[in-house]
Structure 1
Amino acid sequence: MPSTDLMTPETAAERVVEFPDNRLLIDLCGAYDAHLAAIEKSLEVQIIRRGNHLQILGEGEAVEKAESLLNALYVRLESGRSVEPADVDGMLRMGNSGAGTGVRQGDQLEMPISDAIEIQTRKKRVEPRTDAQKAYVQSLFDNELAFGIGPAGTGKTYLAVAVGVSMFIGGHVDRIILSRPAVEAGEKLGYLPGDMKDKVDPYMQPLYDALNDFLPGKQLAKLLEEKRIEIAPLAFMRGRTLSNAFVVLDEAQNATSMQMKMFLTRLGQNSRMVITGDRTQIDLPRGVQSGLQDAERLLKTIPSISFNYFTSKDVVRHPLVAAIIEAYEADSGAA
């Protein structure tokens, strides 16, 4: 709700927006009006629902933003797409600039469909939820080699795998190769039983999780069996030439400088390569230089290589994750 202490008669505003389709209005408001509550909290407005009208009260600029956002979400529903809490959060983060849902006649909203960046997979449509994510996804389509650097929870790996699946099912690449260094995060797991796959799978599980979000289980199993999708530790990349492939190196901060050079030089014809990492979570032994930091220093001036950076503001997991990252960053800066 808007703060009545800060509002004055000169700055207070009111808008009433009509939505003709009550069925779509229910989806627009969300379960128990959760979508309206999220907009109220973020923009500091009050939204009152009366029949098929929504009354918006608050500061003038905030009321305009809320009206524009509600219209954008309604047009999204009219186009046959769903509205989930993540969609509301994403449009709030991007100030509607990432809505890409078209124009609602008679309203101020003007957002052409061409502005939207969407990643189509077999199971779901994925959309960037922050400006940094939007720029990152665009760079994955535009560049043969792209880096995504930032804290946990910002969607670096998830979006990269989504783009890889999209390019694979679109026939732009013949295979997907996902890799990460087999480095333990601060604790020794000891001997792991089983064959080589059993030993390395615990390190690769986040990549399997992402793939399971985008591909049906039976299809994923078949593609893994046929080696059209490969998930392997970084050490297994030596000596290979990765052509006609979408290649992702995850947790790249845990690659040594020699491993990073080895991996980058695997890039073959008609391939895309994405390197993701978090410079604050290096698990290498003390004194060992991170290959991600070296690559950033050495390759930043090459025009055809893109570097994309994320901050705690781009965290799209639980809201507490962003607060936790900010607390650690503040403590590190004070130390």
Structure 2
Amino acid sequence: MIKKLILRDQDEILLALGPQDRKLRALEKEFKIDIAVQYAEDGQGAVLSLKGTHARLDKALARLKKTLEMAAKIKPEAPVLDRTPFKDNIIFRPENARPIEARTENQKNYIEAVFDHDLLVSVGPAGTGKTFLACACALRALELGLVERIIVTRPIVEAGEKLGFLPGDINEKTDPYLRPIYDAFYAMLGVEKFRALKYGNILEIAPLAYMRGRTLEKAFIILDEAQNTLPAQMKMFLTRMGVGSKMIVNGDLTQIDLPQKNLSALLQLPKILKGVSGVAFAGFGPEDVVRHPLVKNILHAYEKWDKKASKAEK
């Protein structure tokens, strides 16, 4: 038996087939069917011909239609939106939560730098909102139609022996390291809309190693916890940028988890990229902490302790 599905444009083709037809091949394998693609003469659409048993075809078609329907629900409606990226201090307006806005002067500078430059390198202590702001800016850029997808990545420092002892497949092993990013998007989108974006391949959250060999066009790309990247990893990440993309590199130099802290790529990045057109730098301090008020006091206490320890070593 053969059943057909019409894909109306390039967006639907990408959603159904995936990069290099990987999603289509996975669908064939999962439902034990064959799928042929016939592209329209103008290159704008295509017809999928699915061959297999009746029950398997119905399940595969249901999966494909659900993917297209969920993506259509969250497709940005650019003509009715205010095209200003940053207005009245508001970065992003969630449907069921208060608007997300800059709460300190450095946060405001951070957001303005994001939309004025293609690459922003940001350094600051925990609690200053680096991850949350980056995710909010990415959603705003997607909403405005400035980009077509969001990709967020983190280095998995313990990708050797320690990670190997954890139970589960690679996704289950790396999931705890990526959890703060999931939390940020849950807070801004809600679980249902987050899943729709992720299921539609519009939002991708993955370990840094998954970026190798890719060219990311029309994407908003965020590297979080960048202090735990090595120079070769940082170079690999930065050179993934394709046409129409933006990048944010976030990190905290007080939380380097590498065995040799002096090898952190984030330490040398400002020196390497100094004076490069299109690159901006942003910094945060304890005064920008937006978590519990006690966090500021804890950071100050650690600063004093570190200075005292440095003097003692000398």
TM range (shorter): 0.5 to 0.7
Taking only the aligned residue pairs, the percentage that are identical comes to 48
Task: Say if 1:152 and 1:278, in contact at 8 Å, map to a contact too.
Answer: yes
Within-5 A mapping of 1:174-253: 174-184=148-158, 188=162, 191-253=165-227
Asked if 1:270 is matched to 2:244, the reply is yes
Within-5 A mapping of 1:1-335: 116-123=88-95, 124=97, 125-184=99-158, 188=162, 191-286=165-260, 289-335=263-309
Within 1, Cα distance between the matches of 2:126 and 2:261?
Answer: 23
Q: Which amino acid aligns with 1:277?
A: G
The residue matched to 1:232 in structure 2 has which SS?
Answer: strand
The residue matched to 1:241 in structure 2 has which SS?
Answer: coil
Q: Which amino acid aligns with 2:222?
A: V
- CA drift at 1:279: 0.5
Within 2, Cα distance between the matches of 1:184 and 1:161?
Answer: 24
Task: Say if 1:252 and 1:292, in contact at 8 Å, map to a contact too.
Answer: yes
- CA drift at 1:195: 1.9
- CA drift at 1:190: 5.8
Which residue pairs with 2:61 in the alignment?
A: none
Using the size of structure 2 for normalisation, the TM-score is 0.67
Q: Which amino acid aligns with 1:182?
A: I
The residue matched to 1:307 in structure 2 has which SS?
Answer: strand
Deviations along 1:47-93, one digit per CA (max 9) or x if unpaired, are xxxxxxxxxxxxxxxxxxxxxxxxxxxxxxxxxxxxxxxxxxxxxxx
Query: CA 1:287–1:316 in 2, change beyond 3 Å: closer, same or farther?
Result: closer
Task: Say if 1:300 and 1:307, in contact at 8 Å, map to a contact too.
Answer: no
Task: Say if 1:117 and 1:138, in contact at 8 Å, map to a contact too.
Answer: no
- CA drift at 1:120: 1.9
Mean Cα deviation higher: 176-185 or 251-260: 176-185
Q: Which runs of 5+ in 2 are unaligned?
A: 1-85, 310-314
Q: Which amino acid aligns with 2:243?
A: Q
- CA drift at 1:300: 2.1
Within 1, Cα distance between the matches of 2:244 and 2:222?
Answer: 15
Within 2, Cα distance between the matches of 1:121 and 1:195?
Answer: 36
Task: Say if 2:128 and 2:290, in contact at 8 Å, map to a contact too.
Answer: yes
Q: Which amino acid aligns with 1:193?
A: P
Task: Say if 1:257 and 1:291, in contact at 8 Å, map to a contact too.
Answer: yes
Deviations along 1:136-156, one digit per CA (max 9) or x if unpaired, are 011111111001101000011
Task: Say if 2:121 and 2:282, in contact at 8 Å, map to a contact too.
Answer: yes
The residue matched to 1:246 in structure 2 has which SS?
Answer: strand
Normalized per residue, the structure richer in helix is 2
Q: Which amino acid aligns with 1:281?
A: Q
Q: Which amino acid aligns with 1:152?
A: A
Within 2, Cα distance between the matches of 1:170 and 1:287?
Answer: 39
Within 2, Cα distance between the matches of 1:171 and 1:115?
Answer: 17
The residue matched to 2:263 in structure 1 has which SS?
Answer: coil
The residue matched to 1:268 in structure 2 has which SS?
Answer: coil
- CA drift at 1:287: 6.0
Deviations along 1:175-222, one digit per CA (max 9) or x if unpaired, are 00000001259x956622222211111110000000001113112112
Deviations along 1:285-334, one digit per CA (max 9) or x if unpaired, are 12660011121221122242111000001101001111111111111122
Task: Say if 2:163 and 2:173, in contact at 8 Å, map to a contact too.
Answer: no
Which residue pairs with 1:74 in the alignment?
A: none
Q: Which runs of 5+ in 1 are unaligned?
A: 1-113
Query: CA 1:287–1:159 in 2, change beyond 3 Å: closer, same or farther?
Result: closer
Which residue pairs with 2:22 in the alignment?
A: none
- CA drift at 1:282: 0.3
Q: Which amino acid aligns with 1:122?
A: P
Number of residue pairs matched by the alignment: 221
Which residue pairs with 2:11 in the alignment?
A: none
Using the size of structure 1 for normalisation, the TM-score is 0.63
Task: Say if 1:121 and 1:215, in contact at 8 Å, map to a contact too.
Answer: no
Task: Say if 1:121 and 1:165, in contact at 8 Å, map to a contact too.
Answer: no
- CA drift at 1:116: 2.7
Q: Which amino acid aligns with 1:148?
A: S
